[in-house]
Amino acid sequence: MMSFLNFILVLATLATALIAGLFYAYSCSVNPGLSELSDSEYIKAMQSINIAIVNPVFLSSFLGTLLLLPLSTYFVYQDGLSDRFWLLFAATLLYWIGTFGVTIFGNIPLNDALADFNTSAASAEAVSQQRGKFELPWNRLHQIRTIASFSSLTLAIIACVLHK
């Protein structure tokens, strides 16, 4: 029978995998596809995506990981400072700072600024400038959180298979 610790660790790893997979898939498909759109189409598509992503399915894995990784780290810590603890501690920090922190303090402010932009009332030059202020910084931040979430997942997987 699976222990409570291992159950929490599996849930934490699964939630981390869902986020890492989302960011990876976005990097491999959505960003390249969006880059081909005109400035106005790009902004409208990103505005739509930014609304659609705020849903219970996404939030449960995004926020669930934020809670489940440190919880599993705490439970492992009950057995003392072990390799498994340090792996989960590092996974937690990577997720908190590199994934959650970058999203909250980087991507979301850019999304919020884009949400207020009305492409219908703006000139083509203003639309182009708005895209320029958004796309490159947003994509760079997205790369950081993709790498951080993948690294966090890798550490969590190793912690799952590591024997005491």
Residue spans of the domains in the chain: they are: 4-161
- Rounded CA separation 69/92 (Å): 5
Share of the chain above pLDDT 90, in %: 93
The tokens describing 119, both together, are: 């492409």
Q: Given pLDDT bands bounded at 50, 70 and 90, which one contains residue 1?
A: confident
Q: Which pLDDT value is given to residue 17?
A: 98
Q: Tell me: the pLDDT tens digits for 65-91?
A: 999 999 999 999 988 899 999 999 999
Whether pTM > 0.85 for this model: the answer is yes
Q: Which pLDDT value is given to residue 164?
A: 61
HSE of 4, CA atoms in CB hemisphere, 13 A:
4
Burial (CB < 10 A; 0-12, 13-18, 19+), residue 41, is middle
Contact 14, 149 (CB under 8 A): no
Q: Which helix (H) or strand (E) holds 94?
A: none
